[in-house]
Structure 1
Amino acid sequence: MSERMPRPAATDSHRPSRGLALSVLIVNQLLAGIGVATGMALAAILVADLTGVVAMGGLAQSASVLGAAIVAIPLARLAVRSGRHVALAVGYGLAAVGAVLVVAAATSGWALLVFVGLAAFGAAAASGLQARFAATEVAAPGFEARSMSLVLWATTIGSVAGPLLSETGDRVGAAFGLPHLVGPFVFSAVAFATSTLLVATLLRMPRAGVLETDALPDAAGRPTDADAAEVDEAVADAPVGKPVGSFAALREASHSPRSLFAILAIVCSHTVMVGVMVMTPIHMTQHGMSLNLVGLVLSIHILGMYGASPLMGWLVDRVGSVRVVLLGAAILVVAVVIGILAPGDDVLLVPLALGLLGLGWSAGMIGGSTLLTTSVDARLRVPLQGATDAAMNVAAAASAALSGLVLGAFGFAGVNMVALLVLVPLAVVGLRMAMVRRAAAA
C-alpha cells in the first residue's frame, strides 16, 4: 500500500471527530479493564489448583502475556492496513473466545486447553496497549501524553473493579454449576464481547501512525521534549515513502539512543511489574490471606498503574518523557526493595509495594511510549510500536514463568531481587544517552 503524506487537520474534511474517537477509546478501556482484571486476578490460582503445582501458576500469566506478544505485530499490521478500529475489534474478539475456552477447559479439567484460552485472552492486553498509541493519533499537538494517559486512566475503574468482582463471579459461576474460580471468566467473556461491538461499530480513527504534528510545518511538527528538543537525525530523517516491517523498524530505531531508551523503558517497566505482580496472589494465599484481601491488594496495584496516569501524562508534556521514565525507574526500585524486606503477612507493606509497583509502571509506560512515538518518523511509528509491544510481552512472559520457579526456590524476596536486575539495562542505556548528549553539547 502506498504511503500518503498526511494533510493538516484543518483542511481534511474527512478526518474523524477527535472527541468522539477519544471518548470511545476511553469507554472501551473501562470495559476491557473489567474483562482483563476479573479473569486474570485468579488465573494463577486456577492453574495451580488444576495442575497441583504452585510453580505452574506463573505460567498462567506467561501464557496470557505470550499471547499478547504473538498478536501485537499482526494487530499493528492490521491497524495500518484496515484501521485501528478493525485491529482493536479483532483483538477483543480473540480475548472473548479465549475466556470461553478457559471456562470450557476448566470445567472439563483439561489444563492444557486453559493455557490456550489464556493465550487468546492475552489479545485483550495487546489491544489495550495499542489503544494508548491510538490516543496520541487523535490528540491536539502537545497533548499526546495527556491523551494517552486519559485512555490508560479509563482502565482504572474497570481494572480496580475487576478483582473485586472475582468473588461475585465465583459465586455466580457456582450457582450455574461451574467449578471454583471459573465464574470470573464468564464476566470477562461478556466484557470483551461488548468491547468488540463498541469499537467495531463506533470507533473511527485517522490513519494509523499519523499524529497531528506530522501535518504541521517542520519547525512546529518536530516532536519536542523538555529534555532534548532534537529528534535523532538517523531516525527522523529516514525516507518516508518506503513501508517498513516491525523488526526492521526495531533494528533501525535501536541505533538511536533516545529510541532505544524508550524501548527499554517500556520493556523493563512491564517485565518488572508482571514478574512481581503475578506471584503476589500465590505469595499472599500461602501466608493465609483471603481472596478478598488478595483482590484488594491487586486493586491497589492496578490503581497505582492507571489511577495516576493523568498526572504522569501531564508531567511528560511539562518536564519531558526522559525525566518521567527516570522517575518511574526510581519508584520501581523502591517497590521491589520493600518487596524484598517486607514480611509475607504484612498487611501494610505488601499493598504499599504493589501500589508503588503500579505507579512506577505508569511512569515508565507513559514516558517510554510517548518518547517512542515522538522520537521516530511516521514511517517507523506503527511497526515500531508493534515490535516494542511484542518484545515487552515476550520478556514479561519469560519473567512470569521464571517468577514461579524463583518463588518456589527463594521466596518472594527472590522474585523481587530478580526484578531489580531487570532494571539494569535501562540504567546502562540511560547513562549512555546522557553521555552522548553531553558530548554533543560540548
Structure 2
Amino acid sequence: MSQVLGGVSLASGVAVGALLAEQVSGSPTYAGLGSTFQVLGSALIAIPMARLSAARGRRPGLALGYVLSFVGALGLIASGIVGSFALLLVASLLFGGSTASNNQARYAAADLANPAHRGRDLSLVVWATTIGSVLGPNLVGPSEPVSRLLGIPRLTGPFVFSLVGLTLAVLVLFVRLRPDPLVEARRRAADLDPHAVGPTHGSIGRGLRVIAARPQALLGVITLALGHVTMVSVMVMTPLHMRHGHADLTIIGFVISMHILGMFAFSPLTGMAVDRLGGRTVAMVGSGILVVATLLASTAPMGHSNRLLAGLFLLGLGWSCTLVSGSTLLTSAVPTTERPGAQGASDLVMGLAAGIGGALAGVVVDRASFHALALGALVVAVAIGVAALVLRDREPVSVR
C-alpha cells in the first residue's frame, strides 16, 4: 500500500517536472534540472535512511523519505507561486525522498525472503508501484480544476495529489508494517547462530567497500546505476520533446504513464526470470531492451508518435530488468548485517549517476537535440551488457 501511495505521489509530479522548471526558469536549458535535483535528492536522502534503518529498522527509514518528500511538494507548489527557481531546486531535492523510500522498500521485501525466491519477492514490491505510478501522470488533467480552485499555477496542481498520497503512505507504514522486516531478519539470524551475527552497519563508506570486495555485488550496482542513467536521461526530457511538438498535457501524461507501466507492471515476471536464469542473464536482457528503446526514441519526431510511445514503454521495461536483477545480485552477495549500508550506498551511486545524466540531458537537448541524447543513452545501455560479461565471481575480500 505504501508503494501504491508513494507511486501516486511521485508520478503525479514527474509528468510536469520539466515543464514547471522551464516555466519558472524561463529557459529550456534548465528544464531538466528540477528532475535532476529530485534524482540527486533521492541519492543523498539514502544516506540518512541507511543509518536510520540500521539503527531502528525499515519502518522509520522509509517514513523519513516520505516526510521529506512532503516538505518538498509544498516547496514545489510555493516555487510556482512566487516564481523562484532556487526554491524549486531545493524543493526538488527534498521531493526525491519519495523515490528514496520507494527504492528502499524493495529491499524490505528481500529482508525475510527465501533465497530461492528473493528476486520474485523483491519484484512484487516493485510491481505494487504500478498502480500509483500509472495513475499519477493521468492526474495531470484532473489537477487543472484543483489548481484553479486553490488559486495556484496550473503546473503545480499535480503536487496537491502528491501531498495527499505521501500523508497516507506514512500512516500505512506506521500502522501496518509490523513486524519490522529488517529487525525481524536480524532476530532470526541471531536465533540460527548467535555468534555469527554482529552489529548492523549503515555506513555508506563501509557499504561501498563491501560492494567493491564482491564482484557480484559490484555488477549489481553497475547494472542499477547505468540502467537508471539510461532511463532517467531520456525520460526527463521526453515531456519537453513532446511539448515542443505541440502535444497537449493529457497526451504527455499518457505517454509517461505507458513508460511507467513498462517500469513496474511486468516486474514479477522479471523477478521470476532472475530466480530461474540468474541476475547476470536478466541484466544482459535489460541491456538489449534499453538499446532498442533508445534507438526508437532517437528516431522519433517531436510531439506525439507511436515510435516514441513504444520507445518509452521499452525504456521502462529495460529499466525494470536492470532494477530487479541488479538489486537481487547485490542483496544475494551481501550479509544481512551489511545490507543497510551496502543498499544505501547502491542507491546513492544510482541516484548520483542518474542526477549527472539528467543534468547533462537538458544541455544536450538544448545544444544538440533529443535524438543525440537518446543515442548517448544507447551507449550507456550497451555498457551494462559489457559489465555483465566481464565481471565474474571470486572469493570476497574481508571488510573491516
Q: Find the residue that maps to 2:116 and give its secondary structure.
A: coil
Whether 1:207 and 2:207 are equivalent positions in the alignment is no
1:6-37 CA-to-partner distances (Å, cap 9, x unmatched) read xxxxxxxxxxxxxxxxxxxxx11001100000
- Cα distance in 2, alignment partners of residues 424 and 197 from structure 1: 42
- Cα distance in 2, alignment partners of residues 164 and 140 from structure 1: 37
Preserved contact between residue 141 and residue 213 of structure 1 (Cα < 8 Å): no
Preserved contact between residue 264 and residue 320 of structure 2 (Cα < 8 Å): yes
Instruction: Tell me which of 243, 252, 255 is aligned to 1:297.
Output: 255
- Cα distance in 1, alignment partners of residues 200 and 133 from structure 2: 36
Give 1:163-202 correspondences, 5 Å limit.
Answer: 163-202=137-176
Q: Residue 8 of structure 1 aligns with which residue?
A: none
Equivalent AA in structure 2 for residue 102 of structure 1: L
Q: Residue 211 of structure 2 aligns with which residue?
A: 253
Q: Percent identity?
A: 40
Equivalent AA in structure 1 for residue 198 of structure 2: G
Q: Find the residue that maps to 2:136 and give its secondary structure.
A: helix
Instruction: Tell me which of 341, 344, 350 is aligned to 1:392.
Output: 350
Preserved contact between residue 138 and residue 212 of structure 1 (Cα < 8 Å): no
Q: Residue 96 of structure 2 aligns with which residue?
A: 122
Equivalent AA in structure 2 for residue 207 of structure 1: L
Between Structure 1 and Structure 2, the one with more helix by share is 2
Q: Residue 281 of structure 2 aligns with which residue?
A: 323
Instruction: Tell me which of 272, 282, 287 is aligned to 2:230.
Output: 272
Preserved contact between residue 264 and residue 426 of structure 1 (Cα < 8 Å): yes
Residues 1:212 and 1:267: Cα distance change in structure 2 (over 3 Å): farther
Shift of 1:435: 9.5
**TM-score, with structure 1 as normaliser:** 0.84
1:306-356 CA-to-partner distances (Å, cap 9, x unmatched) read 000111111111211111111111100111111122333452100000000
Structure 1 gap ranges (5+) = 1-26, 219-238, 438-442
- Cα distance in 2, alignment partners of residues 173 and 213 from structure 1: 50
Residues 1:217 and 1:324: Cα distance change in structure 2 (over 3 Å): farther
Shift of 1:65: 0.7
Preserved contact between residue 267 and residue 395 of structure 1 (Cα < 8 Å): yes
Whether 1:364 and 2:339 are equivalent positions in the alignment is no
Preserved contact between residue 229 and residue 353 of structure 2 (Cα < 8 Å): yes
Instruction: Tell me which of 430, 435, 438 is aligned to 2:388.
Output: 430
Whether 1:312 and 2:270 are equivalent positions in the alignment is yes
Give aligned pairs, total: 391
- Cα distance in 2, alignment partners of residues 269 and 327 from structure 1: 12
Whether 1:342 and 2:316 are equivalent positions in the alignment is no
- Cα distance in 2, alignment partners of residues 206 and 157 from structure 1: 23
Preserved contact between residue 257 and residue 432 of structure 1 (Cα < 8 Å): no
Whether 1:39 and 2:25 are equivalent positions in the alignment is no
Whether 1:57 and 2:36 are equivalent positions in the alignment is no
Preserved contact between residue 215 and residue 393 of structure 2 (Cα < 8 Å): no
Instruction: Tell me which of 83, 89, 101 is aligned to 2:63.
Output: 89
Residues 1:436 and 1:279: Cα distance change in structure 2 (over 3 Å): same
Preserved contact between residue 301 and residue 354 of structure 1 (Cα < 8 Å): yes
Q: Residue 71 of structure 1 aligns with which residue?
A: 45
- Cα distance in 2, alignment partners of residues 310 and 211 from structure 1: 26
Identify which range, 351-360 or 193-202, moves more after superposition. Answer: 193-202
Equivalent AA in structure 2 for residue 241 of structure 1: G
Preserved contact between residue 41 and residue 93 of structure 2 (Cα < 8 Å): yes
Preserved contact between residue 244 and residue 303 of structure 2 (Cα < 8 Å): no
